[in-house]
Amino acid sequence: MISTHQLPTPRLEEWRWADMGALRAAADAEPRDFGIKPADLFLDMEGPRLLFVDGMFEPAHSRPGPVTIARFAPETPHPLGSMAEGEGWALTLDTGAAVTGIQIVHLGSGGESHVPARIMLAEDAVASVVETYAGSGWANRITQMTLAHGARLMRSVRLLQPDGFVSIRDEAEIGEAASLVSVFLGAGGMGSRIDGALTLIGKGGFAEMGGALLTSGTQKQEAAVSVRHEAIEGTSRQLWRAVAANRSVVSLAARVEVARGAQQTDGGQSLRGLLLDRGATVNLKPELEIFADDVKCAHGATVGELDRGALFYLQSRGVPEARAKALLTRAFVADAVSRIGEEAVRAAFEADAERWLEKGL
Amino acid sequence: MLDIQDLRAEIAGKEILKGLSLRVNAGEVHAIMGPNGAGKSTLGYVLGGRPGYTPTGGSVTFAGADLLEMDPHARAAAGLFLGFQYPVEIPGISNVQFLREALNSQRRARGEAPLSGGEFLKLARAQADALGMDQEMLKRPVNVGFSGGEKKRNEMVQMGILGPKLAILDETDSGLDIDALKAVGEGINRIMRAPDKAVLLITHYQRLLDYVQPDFVHVLDAGRITRTGGPELAHQLEREGYGVAA
């Protein structure tokens, strides 16, 4: 059981929008059976599959391939991430190795579950991982990633739990000419907190973390990501889209730090919020901290409603109002999801977003 | 086809249309001309059902139904097409997606089977070709990065695909060079010149009327039709200005 004093409080600036009450309620909730078949949560793709039910590895529904299962306690200063100890998974790839289409499904029935993960890619190794969160309860995860020279990792994470809470902590060290792209889609009914700390430690690295968080009712989702450039010629992108309906809240904090000497850094931040109802809230907090003088850091943060002109234009061509709103909202989140490289995965995420729109509007 | 009786409408509490009456029969092309601020665009938006353009009196009957009671999308499904003076840019939705969605929404509303992707593409390509619009533009987001002329051609491609009974075209000639004007004019004639169709051209200048010959020309001034004549009235207005004609 979690004790109250372990959780961060909103008095800390980094946690001012966090909904730890929802997290605690999810952890304390009685187990429920949603009747979800684990097989339905995997995409129809070749590649390794791992199922965790309430944080425990389920070999019967898994074919882990090169992914190993082990118990470990990650070292991290992060208050939630440090709780994610116990049975977890690890992917270690040698120089030049490639494993794509790895799927990790987290199915919860209630209560709390903690799973650590580690991804270590040697020189020029390539991997892609898709994670799906379903069911109920509090799912707490940490993923620590190390990318050596020229390694490439694509992560796609979808949060589809109908209730409960998902907290995710990502930590990555990105080496020379290595590339990490992480795309998140929050399209369930749960609360969420997505934390990221990405560090570019080698020349010419690429780091991207972004996605779309869709909320309705009184739901709260948030992401707090920090990208630190420690080496020259690094590129980073944080592209987040927030869609809030009813009285829900989405909060996005995105930070770029450019260390002294990290010249020719190219940092990009795009935070955009769409309010579907007057009672909805989107909080955006872009931050730049730059200690080098030859850098390019483009940033934009906007919140607004659906464009009334565009809405009438669609209606005037015969599209009913609800459908027109869904189309415009889908278009609003499209560029976040379009960052996913694999077509089957991108299509699945688009379908998840579409389902949310059909239901949420 | 369209019967407007004593129509009054306001925007934000200000009355713009002050008792406008107009009857358009099938097979006819009507031009509405008038000075800036006369209420020309307001008339288009009120007929299209744009929120904020509130009818306060009178009646509009379209194809036997009370137009003002219908939602905007239902007006489209009933056969009304509103060509925009400033077509809206919609990032993230391709022209093809947008138009297929629009056409199939209309077809469903009329109880017709939706077109498949293949059937729709064939229709869209044929219309784009006829208007001299590059096929590639069908794949691009709606009107994003289009020039003024390209946007107006796109309006005509949409009109060709949707096949309305009545087209209300608001300043379709504005921002067009002479080639685009000719293409748009030919488009209107090809798509809408038929015994069962009608056109209401809202325009400030008579130059589009060189390509699309109206059967009737009306002068709209201060929210009312103040004068009606044949094609020669447009030339007279062009020579003498609205002050003299009104």
pLDDT digits (tens, 9 = 90+) for A60-94: 999 999 999 999 999 999 999 999 999 999 999 99
Name residues 293-312 of chain A within 8 A of B (Cβ). 307-310, 312
Q: Write down the pLDDT at residue A361.
A: 67
Using DSSP bridges, classify how beta strands A49-53 and A98-121 pair: parallel, antiparallel or unpaired. Answer: parallel
What is the C-alpha to C-alpha distance for residues B160 and A155, in angstroms, rounded to an integer?
44
**CB contacts < 8 Å between A and B, how many?**
78
Predicted local confidence at residue B245, as pLDDT? 44
Q: Nearest chain B Cα to A336, which residue?
A: B92
Q: B residues 193-232 near A, CB within 8 Å?
A: none
Question: Taking CB atoms and an 8 Å limit, are B92 and A310 in contact across chains?
Answer: no
Least confident residue range of A203-212, A218-227, B121-130: B121-130
In chain B, what residues touch A312 (CB-CB under 8 Å)? 48, 50-51, 72
Q: Please say if the pLDDT value at position A29 is more than 90.
A: no
User: Over 60: is that where the pLDDT of A4 sits?
Assistant: no
Q: What is the CATH number of the domain that holds B143?
A: 3.40.50.300
pLDDT-based confidence at residue A139 (cuts at 50, 70, 90) = very high
Cα distance between residue A267 and residue B118, in whole Å: 42
Q: Is A287 an 8 Å CB contact of chain B?
A: no
Using a CB-CB distance cutoff of 8 angstroms, which residues of chain B are in contact with residue A335? 92
User: In terms of CA atoms, which chain B residue is nearest residue A306?
Assistant: B90
Q: What is the mean pLDDT of chain A?
A: 94
**What residues in B contact A309, CB-CB < 8 Å?**
88
Query: Nearest Cβ partner of B93 from A318, A327, A335?
Result: A327
Count of domains observed in chain B:
1
pLDDT of residue A126: 98
Task: Transcribe B146-208 into DSSP letters.
Answer: --HHHHHHHHHHHHHHH--SEEEEESTTTT--HHHHHHHHHHHHHHH-STT-EEEEEESSSGG
- Alpha carbon A50 to its chain centroid, in Å, reads 19
What pLDDT shows up at residue A321?
93
Whether residue A3 has pLDDT greater than 70: no
- Residues 67-86 of chain B whose Cβ lies under 8 A from any Cβ of chain A: 71-73, 75-77, 82, 84
| A98 close contact with B: CB closer than 8 A | no
pLDDT in tens, A141-167: 999 999 999 999 999 999 999 999 999
Helix and strand element counts for chain A (H, E): 4, 17
Give the one of A310, A321, A335 whose C-beta lies nearest to B73's C-beta. A321
* Averaged pLDDT for residues A315-343: 93
Do the Cβ atoms of A299 and A328 come closer than 8 Å? no
By residue range, what is the domain housing residue B10?
A: 2-245
Segments of chain B scoring below 50 in pLDDT? 245-246
CB of B105 within 8 Å of any CB in chain A?
yes
- Smallest CA–CA distance, residue A64 to chain B, in Å, is 37
B159 contacts chain A (CB < 8 A):
no
Among A308, A318, A324, select the one facing B106 at the smallest CB separation.
A318
Q: How confident is the model at residue A360 (pLDDT cuts 50, 70, 90)?
A: low
CB contact under 8 A, B92 and A334: yes
Which chain B residues are Cβ-neighbours of A328 within 8 angstroms?
A: 90, 92-93
Output b/e per residue, A155-174; b: 16+ Cβ within 10 A: bbbbbbbebbbbbbbbbbbb
Tokens at residue B153, please?
């051609």
Tell me how crowded residue A288 is: count the other CB atoms within 10 A of its CB. Answer: 14
Q: What mean pLDDT is predicted for residues A108-130?
A: 97
Q: Do B105 and A310 touch (CB under 8 A)?
A: no
pTM metric for this prediction: 0.86
Q: Would the CB atoms of B105 and A319 count as touching at under 8 Å?
A: yes
* Mean pLDDT (whole number) for A277-305: 94
Chain mean position to CA B10:
20
SS (H, E, C) A124-158: CCEEEEEEEEEEEEEEEEEEEEEECCCCEEEEEEE
Tokens coding A320:
């009913």
